[in-house]
Chain A
Amino acid sequence: MDRLRRSSFYKYFGVYLFLFVLGAMVLFPMVIAVSQSFMTNQEVNRWPPKVIPTEPTLDAYRQVLTQQDLRLDLWLRNSLFAASGHTLAVLALCAPAAYAFARLRFPGNKILFAFLLATIMLPSQVTLIPNYLLMRDLDWLDSFRALIFPGAANVFGVFLLRQFFMQIPQELEEAAVLDGASYFGRFRHVILPLSMNAIMALAIFVFLGHYNDLFWPLIVTSSLETRTLPVGLTILNQSYAGQYRPMILAGAVLSTLPILIVYIVFQRRIIKGVTMTGLAGR
């Protein structure tokens, strides 16, 4: 392998070239967003466009964080809170259900599971209007409950966890039965600890999906205090795009920073988790 590597630069020159070009194309929009967020409005609205600010300024960041009608810090907290709550709800509902489907014999196991799988065919849009009206009738509009609970019964989550639970050797559970463990004890002390990888993978997948969702939070939240980051960004865009462009870029940068930091720290785990959940979908 090492010999191959040393002699391989010329052999794989085309591959390197392609990766550098693609990498540059991926990075370029981010670099522009970051560097122009340190410019003044005048410098950004200039032809030819500049990549490096002549006099870097934090003006855009100051403005985006101090406007009365923008609450980026609060929106970030809301997004993190709602996405975490939703993820926990998904895990709390899906893991026990997946255990029942994977391990327990009960009348209707197969039919019920087949029915759940078939519902994956229907897109979530079909539930939007009835669920929105339900939120209104429950007086849940503009609250975290509306962001956390609908959609928490995630069929894909059950499917994914069931696959993993079924792979755990039956003998391990039998040992727990001999120790007098109840069904809950077996689930809690045997199955869960052995499937932490799958659970983490599902958690990452669900969290990212919810954190970046726009449609549902857009329709169920209305006050400045309950908006989430993606919705907040659209508000920022509508109110300030014409006035002070670097603010928009600063907002985009600030909103992406937390998730990017988490990504860089846990890159392996996240990439593995996303791959794992993706492959299970096959």
Chain B
Amino acid sequence: MGSREKILAAVKTNQPPLSPLPSNWQGSKHTTNLKEQFIQTVTNIGGLVIEVNSVEEIIPAVKDKFPETTRIVNLLESPKPTGASLGDPHEFENVTIAIMQGQLGVAENGAVWLTDKQMGDRVLPYICENLVLVMKSTEIVPTLHEAYERIGSSDYGLGTFLAGPSKTADIEQSLVLGAHGPKSLMVYLLP
């Protein structure tokens, strides 16, 4: 008998009588202003939220913020990154800013959900030095429960909640931003 069969047989023999799943989560009602809560939470976890009126404002604003930037990958118009030889993620090693769309934000924890459809290349949101996410403020939900309701059974290769810049507190619990991934994360909120 192979290990698969051996393990499954032992599990079947030893598992206790069926214990039912709990009913669907019904949480307390949320009364807070979702946008305000989201902005506050993202700030608390080391990110920055900037409200803009139109998508056109974003690129000049980003360039203004990072005048020294050498390589921007902007995926807002097309999810295909330009200037990279196809299929090799190592090409993105020197990206200083990556700009991509977020699908939804979670007020309670400041996380933004996006999938590989928005990432251009899966490595981009992790390898760039600064990450800029763009989303509509109407796409903010109170908690992860509502977020997963929205995500539903959608199909993706990689989906992720991104909450603030890469960070570590492994050295004496001192918080340092930019452990391995982006050193900064900005969320541009459209109306």
Chains A and B are bound partners: no
Residues on B close to A: CB < 8 A?
Answer: none
